[in-house]
């Protein structure tokens, strides 16, 4: 084989390698596009009020009354969305609690990734402490982040997590949980004050936190666990469906009423 032929073969091989790289690059771009499209796909979600019609909504991140002190990015309407599977399980929770004289109130459910990003911008702005007295009086912003009250990713964005409490159907008032939603501190831990969520035993260690408040938390927790949700260690109001349908997808479509 002469030198001219060898050069020609090398040129063919090089051209094939370049073409392969281009095709691989195109495939990667297509994959990225598909992933991006998936995060904007709300087809597996429902309006919670369509599934649990007697639920009470107080969507804090649509309002100014939250730890950021502003409406959160992506919250276009004061509605609550969840995956169909999580909403069906929440309906079972609601039916269970109603038999005991309670209904559920939701503070937050699906949260778009853009909302989580808004939280992170707030956390990094150390000069912004407008809401400190109301939500994290004993913590610095760094401690809020270190304690995982705010993180770069949230189970809420996967669509099967909900923040909620219970309301006494006779009085129409929230049950006393011994603390408020989005209070950043150990007082929000389910086992705070001498309570044991596993055994339901209570050995008071804080004179300001009572056995009644602990058991009220356990009423909610027990009902949620009974119907397929799992709790969080540092927030009594936070639960995620164990068998969530999108465990690896962090959605980013806005919170607004879904149309059929």
**Structural domains of the chain, count:** 2
Q: How many CA atoms lie within 13 A of 148 on its CB side?
A: 9
Active-site entry in 143, 148, 235, 244: 235
Domain match, 79 and 182 both: yes
Neighbours of 93 (CB within 10 A): 23
Domain of 168, in residue numbers:
45-241
pLDDT tens for 74-94 read 999 999 999 999 999 999 999
Domain match, 71 and 2 both: no
Decide: helix, strand or coil at residue 195. strand
Domain match, 92 and 219 both: yes
Q: pTM value?
A: 0.86
Closest CA to 179 of 258, 254, 237: 237
Q: Are 218 and 200 in contact (CB under 8 A)?
A: yes
Domain match, 98 and 145 both: yes
**Cα distances (Å, whole numbers) of residue 9 to 2, 15, 18, 22, 108:** 11, 10, 14, 20, 63
Q: What's the pLDDT score for residue 13?
A: 43
Domain match, 25 and 70 both: no
Quickly list DSSP for 152-185.
SS-GGGGT-EEEEEEEETTT-SB---SS-TT--S
Q: Is residue 247 situated within a structural domain?
A: no
Reply yes or no on whether 235 is catalytic.
yes
Domain match, 181 and 225 both: yes
Neighbours of 37 (CB within 10 A): 9
Domain match, 135 and 236 both: yes
Low-confidence ranges of the chain (pLDDT < 50): 4, 8, 11-19, 21-24, 26-27
Q: Which residues pair with 230 in a beta bridge?
A: 240
Report d(CA 198, CA 196) in Å as an integer.
5
Cite the DSSP H helix spans in the chain. 3-39, 48-51, 84-98, 113-124, 132-135, 141-146, 211-226
Q: Is residue 254 situated within a structural domain?
A: no
Q: Is residue 249 situated within a structural domain?
A: no
Q: What's the pLDDT score for residue 32?
A: 54
Closest CA to 154 of 229, 250, 227: 250
The β-bridge relationship of strands 235-241 and 161-168 is antiparallel
Sheet holding 161-168, edge to edge: 56-57, 102-108, 161-168, 235-241, 229-232
């Amino acid at each position: 084989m002469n030198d001219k032929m060898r050069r020609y073969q090398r040129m063919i091989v090089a051209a094939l390698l370049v073409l392969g790289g281009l095709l691989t690059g195109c495939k990667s771009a297509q994959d990225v596009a598909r992933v991006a499209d998936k995060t904007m796909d709300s087809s597996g979600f429902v309006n919670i009020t369509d599934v649990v019609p007697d639920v009470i909504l107080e969507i804090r991140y649509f309002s100014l009354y939250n730890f950021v002190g502003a409406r959160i990015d992506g919250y276009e309407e004061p509605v609550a969305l969840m995956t169909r599977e999580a909403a069906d399980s929440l309906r079972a929770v609601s039916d269970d609690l109603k038999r005991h004289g309670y209904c559920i109130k939701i503070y937050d459910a699906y949260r778009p990734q853009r909302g989580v990003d808004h939280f992170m911008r707030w956390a990094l702005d150390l000069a912004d402490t407008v809401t400190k007295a109301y939500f994290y009086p004993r913590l610095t912003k760094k401690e809020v982040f270190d304690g995982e009250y705010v993180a770069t990713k949230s189970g809420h964005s996967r669509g099967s997590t909900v923040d909620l409490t219970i309301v006494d159907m006779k009085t129409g008032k929230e049950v006393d949980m011994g603390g408020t939603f989005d209070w950043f501190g150990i007082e929000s831990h389910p086992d705070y004050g001498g309570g044991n969520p596993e055994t339901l035993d209570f050995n008071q260690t804080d004179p300001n936190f009572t056995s009644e408040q602990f058991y009220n938390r356990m009423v909610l927790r027990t009902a949620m666990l009974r119907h397929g949700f799992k709790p969080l260690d540092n927030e009594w109001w936070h639960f995620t469906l164990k068998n969530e349908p999108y465990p690896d997808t962090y959605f980013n479509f806005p919170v607004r009423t879904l149309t059929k």
